[in-house]
Structure 1
């Protein structure tokens, strides 16, 4: 065979082989396609992915099994204000199924178009959730929190004074009354259908709320009005001593209705002042007095001290408060003392002291002994004893004529402190002190040597305390 013949034979063989290979490849493709068509009638088309699970050339039953979830593992926590409850899938015959969507995907695939599904996107399907709603409702109704007898009515906020002296609205028990039970059932159904793990009844807004809350306009208005009252500032002066009413005392005069209407009660103002008076007034009080011998003695009889005029001061303060006026003054008084400090001492360091047993009189000024003298007091045998007690100098008079039922006496210096009883000079006496008062005492006055009476007259002031014991 010559070269030309060999080449022709070679070319012929190559062409035949190429044709055979080509026909074989085409046949393989056709066989593969045919297999895919046949398989796709019974199975999902090759390349099918559902919910990230490859199910190509798998049955619907297989796909259903792969995607299966156990409904009994599902639980729903229902949170009430007073207690939590759990509902399991088993309790309500919960069931999950993808069957319908799986069948729709299979039925939507054309066997002859199976090659197209090799690059098709993932199918996303949701399971069909079924459960017995009647059982769900019955289960919820069995909760103690759903029983009307266990539900607490919500309470409105209270208006209170805090430790800083500021009026605030304080939330109270929100209660546990379910506004509408049907809404609870509805919320539970939606929670199960959405596969939620928790249902908070409070956050869902299913509780009945109180008529008023701390954010209600009426409550805020009431708080603001109360704060105007407690912040007024009420300062009373007993002498030079300032006594200020505390916020809690002013707050106690306020009355608040169920609708948060606020008024100032005159009766409460009076009660507040009565309490204030009991705490600070000194008139007619029992006193422990330290005498010139540094001994403490109790004095019960007293016509001296500070006493508020409750009735008139109530009217004045009530008027000031309703007009939102601050107060800084001496209150209306029935009696006033010579001095006062915050410990309730209204005698201080300036006073006259009369010792009936010793028949001595002492005058202290600013805690310094200015005068010490023997005296003659009321005749005890004739029932004219000088009454023990605490008094104050009413006035000064010079000269003066002292008159009684059976006497009329002229004196130069007269300083009464207990009605018709007082200090005065007694020039008709040559001796003072001792036991003279037992047989030749006065009609009740404190008789003094002329020089001592003169000195006292110009040293002692009207209103100065006089302690007789």
Structure 2
């Protein structure tokens, strides 16, 4: 090859190389004052931008909603950014990255991935506000905190409350406040969205003594014993025999401690079961009781006495409950009665009944709440002390063409509807007028004299067992 041509090629190549080197060094100098070519931070292109510009862009992409703190499934609490005046700033991280960036390696960003960087912001917040928020959280209000007392003072004990026996165990799930504080601080500073204090180990269990283990074992027996699922039904009313009731069935010694049999099982105090049934009887037995009754005349009257109502078969129920409880039955139970009203429960009259207003001398008959009969009547002669007794009674029989007999009378009637002993509702063919104040001087011997047409309708409609509410 011609030497001149070779020399020219060398000179040309050298000039090109020098030009490339010069351009490279020129760009190196240019990028030496800022981020190198192809620099990306957290997905933001940074070449040619100032630290402040990039900081603002990065912050605009942030959407931190705060920290949700939980402890298993028990409770949760949210710390919002504004609660602690939380602020984020990438300035220091950007300046440090810029300082460490080698301007001579800008070519690496062009041909590789050297310009992609993930940076974390500086997290700033008000320490006083942070501490206040922690103290207000349910976790830092825990009564059972570690370090408040000597380890031996964290107790295990059995107590009794409205819902039965319960265990106080201060040695489990003891809250470690300092550990939780550190975990929350770290979570805030690393912008975590959730933090489970259980998983972070912020609760601990203290060792148990032998006596404590025995207490826990006894409680487990009590808890199983008082677990009762029997529900008494009194009409629409329900009375559960739950742990708050069954806890009283445990036999206790003179010191008030549960008594165990030779097999280590809790013993039952049958007298306590009997006492519970007696209380049910006192509450739901209505025969001869006092009732508040909404009278047709527009007022609530007090009606006391009478033969109508429910009366619990206490002996049968004591036997039932003892067996059902010991067998751990789970059932809805309708009790046995020695006497049953048309309805059970405290409101045993229902919506079908006879009402005798002896002050106004009126009788009413309601069927399913609808007034079917309204008639004046004549009741017992009060001037001769034969006034019809008040009370809640019931139709216990019905007869046609009956002769009513007393010491000084024998009176035939077409319709006889007895409601209490010899007192009943019947026709009175000898009367032409009813109502008013006839009863005060010319009343009956105690029965409810009723116009023939009305008593005949009542006779056909009323059923045996229908309550009859009688009052002045």
Name the TM-score, length of structure 2 as normaliser: 0.53
Residue 233 to residue 301, structure 1, CA distance change in 2 (3 Å): closer
Q: Please, which of 240, 243, 247 is the counterpart of residue 247 of structure 1?
A: 243
Query: 2:395 aligned with 1:393, yes or no?
Result: yes
Aligned with residue 235 of structure 1, among 232, 235, 256? 232
Taking the aligned partners of 2:456 and 2:239, their CA distance within structure 1 comes to: 38
The alpha-carbon deviation at position 457 of structure 1 amounts to 1.0
The CA deviation string for residues 365-397 of structure 1, in whole angstroms up to 9 with x for no partner, is 122111011111111122211001211111222
Q: Write the distance in 2 (CA, Å) between the matches of 1:337 and 1:405.
A: 33
Other structure's SS at 1:269 match? helix
1:453: which partner in 2? 455
Count of residue pairs the alignment pairs up: 286
Which residue matches 1:210? 211
Instruction: Give secondary structure in 2 for the equivalent of 1:398.
Output: strand
Q: Residue 305 and residue 442 in structure 1: after superposition, are their counterparts in 2 closer, same or farther (change >3 A)? A: same
Query: Against the structure 1 CA distance between its residues 291 and 448, is the aligned structure 2 distance closer, same or farther, given a 3 Å change threshold?
Result: same
Whole-angstrom distance in 2 between the partners of 1:258 and 1:355: 58
- The corresponding residue for 2:314 is 310
Structure 1 Cα separation of the partners of residues 234 and 341 of structure 2: 12
C-alpha contact (below 8 Å) 2:259/2:267 kept by paired residues: no
Structure 1 segment 293-442 matched on structure 2, within 5 A: 293-340=297-344, 344-442=346-444
- What SS does structure 2 have at the residue aligned with 1:372? strand
Contact 1:157 / 1:171 at 8 angstroms: preserved in 2? yes
After superposition, where does 1:144-159 map in structure 2 within 5 Å?
157-158=157-158
Contact in 2 for aligned 1:159/1:223 (Cα 8 Å): no
DSSP 3-state at the match of 1:443: coil
| Paired residues of 1:170 and 1:214 also in contact (CA < 8 A) | no
Paired residues of 1:212 and 1:219 also in contact (CA < 8 A): no
Mapped to 2, the partners of 1:325 and 1:359 lie a distance apart of 53
Q: Structure 1 residues 209 and 162 mapped into 2: Cα distance closer, same or farther (>3 Å)?
A: farther
Task: Name 2:37's counterpart in structure 1.
Answer: none
Q: CA deviation at 1:214?
A: 4.9
CA offsets per residue over residues 261-295 of structure 1, 9 Å max, x none?
Answer: 31232211122223333344433332222211211
Q: Distance in 2 between matches of 1:384 and 1:255?
A: 55
* Whole-angstrom CA distance in 2 between matches of 1:334 and 1:295: 33
**What secondary structure sits across from 2:373 in the alignment?**
strand
8 A Cα contact 2:234 2:344, kept in partner: no
Contact 2:232 2:335 in 1 (8 A): no
Q: Normalising by the residue count of structure 1, what TM-score does the alignment of the two structures yield?
A: 0.53
Q: Secondary structure at 1:213's aligned position in 2?
A: helix
* Alignment partner, residue 33 of structure 2: none
Alpha carbons 2:230, 2:333 under 8 Å: kept:
no
Partner Cα separation in structure 1 for residue 335 and residue 382 of structure 2: 41
Larger Rg: 1
Compared CA separation, residues 421 and 172, structure 1 to 2 (3 A): farther
Q: State how far apart, in whole Å, the 1-side matches of 2:295 and 2:226 are.
A: 49
| Correspondence list, 1:67-78, <5 A | none
Is 2:295 aligned against 1:291? Answer: yes
